[in-house]
Amino acid sequence: MKNVFSLILLSFLLFTSSQALLAQQKAVRIAVVPCTIDDLGRGSQFLTTEEILQLERGLSFSLQRELYDHLLDQIDQKHGNALEVQALTETNTLLELSGISLQESWQQTVPQLAIVLNVDVILKVEVRYQVGHASQIAGTFNRPHTIPCDDGLMLSPERTFLRARLVEASSGLPLWNTRNNDWVSKGRKNEVIARRIVGELSPSLPAVVHFYAQDK
């Protein structure tokens, strides 16, 4: 009986000790930065510079929001104590206060962004529309039956290519990346892209936690 009690007590002490260590371990902070719009497709040649900037801004922030929401859901479900996603308002405000415009943020290296954002890991995504154009608005008089895409923008490429990387902030070394330059077809692309990226990334998140637990 005494041995059983001792084993129970030892198990309890080990459990509480491990929980205390887990609580003391600093969560790994991840920032989802505004997504790079590499190319709007050949139709962009008919747009003004201002129109291109507006489209890039809308698409970049819309995709960033979708990625943030999907990643936050995944982390809340499985890695709540070990990983933390920086709020989008904090990410974008810090970039703005540092005088970094949207397009300039695409050119920044990960270590440069990490200094501004004060995070451990950065998720970067690049999108390129192969053909078509992004200038039509669904539901207008000349396109009344067009199926709307994200934010009411009518995008008509056959394929949207994407590349995603989870990068260690201080060194710029990739912790994870998409297997190849993946692509999605027509539809609500931002939702599909975000779901696909987070779905591929999710199995690698425990390794990210382990990397920081061992190395930091």
- What's the pLDDT tens digit per position in 74-107? 998 887 788 999 999 999 999 999 999 998 999 9
Q: Model pTM?
A: 0.74
Question: What fold does the segment set 25-215 form as a domain?
Answer: Rossmann fold (3.40.50)
Query: How much is the pLDDT for 7?
Result: 45
CA–CA gap between residue 124 and residue 121 (Å, rounded):
10
SS3 73: helix
Query: How much is the pLDDT for 33?
Result: 97
Given a contact cutoff of 8 angstroms between Cβ atoms, the answer to whether 113 and 122 are in contact is yes
pLDDT value at 44 more than 80: no
How much of the chain exceeds pLDDT 90, in percent? 35
CA–CA gap between residue 71 and residue 86 (Å, rounded):
11
Average pLDDT over residues 183-206: 80
- Break the chain into its structural domains and give their ranges: 25-215
Given a contact cutoff of 8 angstroms between Cβ atoms, the answer to whether 70 and 64 are in contact is no
* Residue 26: band (very low, low, confident or very high) from pLDDT cuts 50, 70, 90: confident
Count of positions (residues) in the chain: 216
Q: Which residues pair with 153 in a beta bridge?
A: 137
Which letter does DSSP use for residue 48 in this model? -
